[in-house]
Each structure stands twice: as C-alpha cells, then as structure tokens.
Structure 1
Amino acid sequence: MSIILTVRRIDIEETLNTTPSVLPQIKMTAQLNEDRIWIDGCFDFVHHGHACAMLQARRTSNNKENSMLFCGVHNDAAIEYNKGTLPVMNAPERYAHARSIRWCSAVVEDAPYVTAPEWMDRFGCQYVIHGDDVTLDANGEDCYTIMRKMNRFKMVKRTYGVSTTDIIHRILTHNTLPSTDKDYFPTLDELEFCSKGVDGFSNHCYVFQDDLNNMLVRGGYDWDSTNSVLILGDFDLFHMGHIDQLKKIRNVLEPRRQIIIGVTSNESKEIIMTIKERVLSLLSCSFVDGVIIHPSKDTIENSSHDEKSKFSKVYNIDSPELVDGTVFSGYLTSRTIIARIETQRDMYVERNKRKGMPI
C-alpha cells in the first residue's frame, strides 16, 4: 500500500508550512514511500537535539531531490496525560518552532502520543525515525512497539548532552555550564553537520569565528556580505519570539538578502544555554544563512575599512522594528519562559526528580 499526495511536492512544503489547517484537505491514495519519512515527539523547548534528530531522519533517504520529512507534534493534552505535566511551550509555539526547522517539510499537528501506522499512512510514510532512547506512554509501554513489530521503525543516534529536562534543571538551579567546559563550544564536525541544506546533505550555512576573516564552515552559496544583513543577539533559549523576527526579516524587511546571525555574550546577563546549544539551534533554522560566533567589536559596529566586508544592514534582535507586527515576539521572551518555570517551580522540581535530576 502507498499514499500519494495529489499535489506537487513544492505545494506541500510551501502550503503546509504556512497554513497547517489545510492538511486534512489534501487528497490521498494508498501507497507507502520510503522517501516520505515520519518523526514525532513533544518538541518542547525545541533545541539542537531535536533538530539533529530531524536532520538524521531526513538523511535516511538517499533521494535528495524528493524526500520529505513529516513531523508529528503532540498536543498539550496528550503530553499532560502521558507525562503528567504540561509542556513549558504551548502547542502553537511548539508547532511553529518545529515548522521552522530547515529539514522539516511539514508539521502534522495533534499527532498521537503512541505512533499510529494509520497516521503515517495518510502521508505515505514508510518509516518512523526515533533516537536510541526509549519513550514511554502513560502505561509505561514503548510508544514505538507497534511500528517495531511492523518493521516500520528506524533508529538514529540521540544527541547527548542536551535535553528539555536539563535546560529546565539549569533554570531551576541557576547552574549553567562555564565557558571553560569542554562542551561549551561546538566542534568543527558539529558545525559542519548542522550547516546542511534542506536535503540534509548539501552545504548551506556559513560559520565564522569573531569576524569574516576566520571562516570555520564554507556555505553552499557565493558569499557576499554586502548582500547580507547581520542580526545581533545572545539568542538564549532560542524560541519562537526570535524566529518570528527572523521570519519577518526574510519575508518583509530583507527578502533578497542572506540572514547572518552574530551570537553575542552578555556578561551582565545570566545565559542559560551554551554557545554550542545556541549556535547549533540557529544553524537549524530555515531563516538563517550563516552564523558569526562572538562577533568582534568591528563586526558589531560594521566598521570594516573594506567596503566589501560590510553588511548591508545590522539589526538587533528584539528591537521594535523587528518585533512590531509579529505573532509570538510581542509576548514571548527568554524571561517569559523562565517565569513560566519559576511560577510552577514545585511542579517542575518534582518532574525533574522523577527523571533523575533532583534539585
């Protein structure tokens, strides 16, 4: 049996990523396709671990031109029932964030917590992809038992060292990794892997250290700083408030320019996430074309003596011109997210305790 969508692939990627409500209206026939891949989860506090799972899932298909990754995202009620607590980020925030990941072709909202073959069949997905960890439902059963028995399950390597539980733990304890920790900065292999394009194989993002003279990763397009805009910020807890602003830059303010992120450190502010976590999350965003790690003073001020090394324009994330008119940025900030956890501190302390992270 196979499911063939009766619209062109580009229609699916464009339409479903902007108007998810049209999903049930797509006409389908029965035929499964191993190049249509399913991945599902809560996607709470979407971080580079989630993004790397999507990237690995996309790469399970060798069909670079026509592979598609369908991301099933559970609703709040399903998560509360199976995990015992609501997610930190609400359903619209989680749907939108998953949709923004470069390797996600379409988000399927309200996907069942226990992976169901009939849901995968709707979109012609032969296999579901999951990391090498076990996900249990409310009854303590493996959520992928059915798919394993049907030989429609594939495993990829879980990204260790980052999890929603760990991020919540840092917020609760105010205990963050020091910059001297070996995992504070990404390795070159990690940067190269997360800089891949939509197909999961080709190069896309550039990565620089300090300034444009120190290139770490070469991207997949001809570099021209004069045709690029620089967005400055610490991008802590990288969230839809940030992403909405990047989307506005791409679609409204600078539609023909490359978007380069300057990831800064603010010594006067407590930063929850490491440089590695922030940079790899940014590289996975479909509205990002490159990253500068710790941009120098000259880079920030766009004051290079070489006119060819100057950016077309420099923006600061969370500035009024970026926030105005967006959906999420008007209310969602890193402080908002921290407040959500602090106001329900006892619940999250107990939650993390059950997961082996006592305060």
Structure 2
Amino acid sequence: MEEKAERVWADGCYDMVHYGHANQLRQAKTLGKTLVVGVHTDEEILLHKGPPVFTEEERYKMVRGIKWVDEVVEGAPYCTSVATLDKYNCDFCVHGDDITRTTEGVDTYDEVKRAGRYRECKRTEGVSTTDVVGRMLLLSRAHFCRDEWIEKHKDDARTLSTHNDAASPWTDVSRLVGDSKTLEEFSSGNKPKPGDKIVYVSGAFDLFHIGHLSFLEEARALGDYLIVGILSDHMVNSYKGENHPLMNLNERVLTVLAYKPVNQVIIGAPYDITDEMIDQFNISVVAQGSRVPHHEVDGVDPFEAPKRRGLFQLVDSKCDMRTEVIIKRIFDRRDEFEQRNKRKCEDTVTNGTHGNRV
C-alpha cells in the first residue's frame, strides 16, 4: 500500500454544499494525513462560472465544518498551480474524475497534471451544484406525481414517517440510493461512551446550509454525543408542502453525516419524540432551534415527552439562514442562474465534462 502523503490539497467553489462535495473531500483525505481545502472567492466564481448561491464567508464556514477537512485556505486561485501547492506544503492536489475549465476553456489543473502532482478520485454521480440549483428553479408542483399516493395514505402520516424510497413521490427528481457501504464511509463509527451526555435533534435538514450547521454546533455543545433524526420525505412534505424536500432522505442523511458535530443519525426518524425513544437512546437533552418555525402535525406537540421530563431545550443558532432564504436568492436572480445552468449543460454535451468546479 502506498504511504500516505503528509499534506494534500483539494479546491473548488463548494457552493450549495452537498454530499457530493463531502464525498470528494472524504476520498481526498484517504490519500493524506492532512487535508487542506482551497475555496474560491465570489469574484472568481462569478468570472468563470456565474453567480454563486452562497457567499464566500458562508462557503468557508460550510467547508470548515466537514469532518475530513483539516485546514481551509480562503480565496484560493481558480487555477491550481505548483506554486500554490508549494506555498501550503502540499504534495499533490486531488480532484474528481471530471475536467474543469476556466471561462477561456483552459483545464484548471493543467499545470499540476504536467508536474505529476495531481491525483484523481471518483466523482459522485447524480448530484452537483447545477443539479441542486435546477431543482430550485423547478420549484413548482410540475415534477410531482404524488397526489394519488398522498390521498391513499393521508390518514397514516405518522406511521409513514419512515417511508424511504429513493425515487419517492416527493423527490422524484432525485434518485440517490443509499447503501450500507456508503453510510459506513460517511459515519465516524464512534459509539457513545458510558456516562456520555447524549443530545438529540431532529428535522428535515434540506438544502443543508450555515443555519443548520450553526444549530448543530450549538446543540453538540450541550453534551458529549449528538444524534440527529432525519425526517422522511413524506413527513417533511406533510408540513412544508409544495415540492419539499428538494433533497431526498438518502441525500439529506449523507450530507448531515459529513459534518463534524454529528455522531449518529436516525434515518426516517419519527416526528414525535416519545418516552420509548428517549429511553432507547438514553437521551439527556432534546434541542430545538429558536429561529425556525415550530411545526405541529395534527395539532400534536412532537416535544411533549421531553418537555414533560425536563429534557427540552431551545437553542439559538445565532444565524437567520433558512431554506426559504436560499430559494429566494435563486428566484431573485433566476435569469442568471438559468443561463449558468444552460452553459453548464452545453459544456457537458460539447466536451463530455462537467464544465466547472464542484
């Protein structure tokens, strides 16, 4: 087996951070002891690719939060050079197996490839920032085929909260199929130690953003071990409506698992946090964010049991970012994002590439 490098470099836009970005960084970390990640500025992304959805400060924080990232370089150059690798004492850089180009059509990794300081990892199929932005541009009921299914099961909303279908009626645009190997790769694998104070939170965690990350960081600070319940597609849609969630259950699970505060996830978690669940997982604190609307299904408070037992705690994420804010950013600049996605698709057809950076 080849000995790991001391320091490896990865870079990109890391806009609309998702499990594909996390998987690239996970693979990069397997090649070195320290993973240094360069993140481009808004100005550089606008020049070569089009407007980013997240600001550079938001993207810096999101990348820092990913569990395989050791260091973040802010304002990294769009074209990766040998000088950049040398500056940060990195042996080589790692990127997915898709070619990325500048606005002039130049391979952004040409120099380091010619110097033999480039390594390739497998790109995560089925997701990209372009894809996620496209889902928001389609924010209508047009791609749904769920009405008959919901009518049939409308009286079963709670028991169906564990419904898990990769091509579900709510997220038919998304077809990631989860498997145990991928979950194992994304999981930290650690179990709570005797005496650990276990904190539990739950939610949709759709279009994962700095508000989610800030909340998870604050919740994790309340104890020693954080369990995150990820609600099913059906349950999220039952209280948010339209075509929510935009990321399916499998996608949301992997994205949340990639972040440092999270120790464990419950896939398709029940909406109600019951006494049985509290006892099963030895939960000491149940946290809820104070800056998000409180949803009740059928008028029942899902936090009744933890409140009764004195385990409930409101947490201030100190961040007002919400999924709706991200969607508004897309719609406020809809024409620009549509043109950006169109150029990306045309480049893919013309060059057989994914055109731009992750």
Give the TM bin, normalised by the shorter chain. 0.7 to 0.9
> Which of 122, 125, 138 is the equivalent residue of 1:173?
138
Q: 1:122 to 1:193 in 2, by over 3 A?
A: same
Residue of structure 2 equivalent to 1:139: 104
Kindly indicate whether residue 315 of structure 2 is the aligned counterpart of residue 322 of structure 1: yes
Q: Structure 2 vs 1, CA of residues 87 and 224 (structure 1 numbering), >3 Å: closer, same or farther?
A: farther
Higher mean displacement: 163-172 or 300-309: 300-309
Name which of structure 1's ranges 220-229 and 104-113 shifts more when overlaid on structure 2: 220-229
Partner residue in 2 for 1:350: 339
CA distance in structure 2 between the partners assigned to 1:296 and 1:244 by the alignment = 23
**Contact 1:37/1:69, CA 8 A, preserved across alignment:** yes
The residue correspondences of 1:194-233 to structure 2 (distance < 5 A) are 194-195=186-187, 204=188, 219-222=189-192, 227-233=197-203
Mapping of residues 108-187 of structure 1, within 5 Å = 108-174=73-139, 175=143, 178-179=167-168, 183-187=175-179
TM-score under structure 2 length normalisation: 0.75
* Equivalent of 1:91 in 56, 59, 68: 56
CA RMSD, Structure 1 to Structure 2 (Å): 2.2
Q: Aligned equivalents of 2:19 and 2:279: distance in 1?
A: 35
Moved more, 158-167 or 182-191: 182-191
List per-residue Cα deviations over 1:112-148 (Å, max 9, x = no partner). Answer: 0000222221221011000000110121000000000
Distance (Å, rounded) in 2 between the aligned partners of 1:68 and 1:165: 29
Of 182, 190, 208 in structure 1, the residue corresponding to residue 182 of structure 2 is: 190
Match of 1:49 in 2: 20
> TM-score scaled to structure 1, two decimals?
0.75
Identify which of 210, 228, 238 aligns with 2:208. Answer: 238
Partner AA of 2:182 in structure 1? E
Task: State the 1:346 CA deviation.
Answer: 1.1
Matched, 1:262 2:226: no
Residues in 1 aligned to 2:84 and 2:283: alpha-carbon distance in whole angstroms: 46
1:354 CA displacement: 1.5
> Counterpart of 1:282?
256
**Pair 308,189 (structure 1): closer, same or farther in 2 beyond 3 Å:** closer
Structure 1 residues 175-201: Cα deviation after superposition (integer angstroms, max 9, x where no partner): 478416693551112111111xxxxxx
Contact 2:42 2:56 in 1 (8 A): yes
| AA at the equivalent of 2:329 | R
Match of 2:329 in 1: 340
Matched residues in 2 for 1:249 and 1:45: separation? 23
* Contact 1:226–1:309 (CA under 8 A) maintained in structure 2: no
Moved over 2 A (4+): 174-178, 180-185, 219-227, 305-310, 316-324
- Contact in 2 for aligned 1:231/1:316 (Cα 8 Å): yes
Q: CA shift at 1:53, angstroms?
A: 0.5
Separation (CA, whole Å) in 2 of partners of 1:310 and 1:236: 27
Q: Taking structure 1 as reference, are residues 305 and 132 closer, same or farther at Cα in structure 2, changes over 3 Å only?
A: closer
Amino acid of the structure 2 residue aligned with 1:158 = R
Distance 1:190 1:73 in 2: 25
Structure 2 partner of 1:75: 41
Using the alignment, how far apart are the partners of 1:128 and 1:316 within structure 2? 40
Residues 97 and 309 (structure 1 numbering): CA distance in 2 closer, same or farther, change over 3 Å? closer
The equivalent position to 1:292 in structure 2, one of 266, 275, 278, is 266
Contact 1:236 1:272 survives alignment (8 Å)? yes
User: 1:244-299: per-residue Cα shift (whole Å, max 9, x none)?
Assistant: 11112233xx1x421110111322322111111111011110010010011135xx
Provide closer, same or farther for how the CA distance between residues 314 and 126 of structure 1 changes in structure 2, counting only shifts above 3 A. Answer: same
Change (3 A) 1:223 1:137: same
Partner of 2:274: 302
Q: 1-side partners of 2:66 and 2:53: how far apart?
A: 19
Q: 1:124 to 1:187 in 2, by over 3 A?
A: same
% identical aligned pairs = 35
Q: Give the aligned residue type for 1:81.
A: L
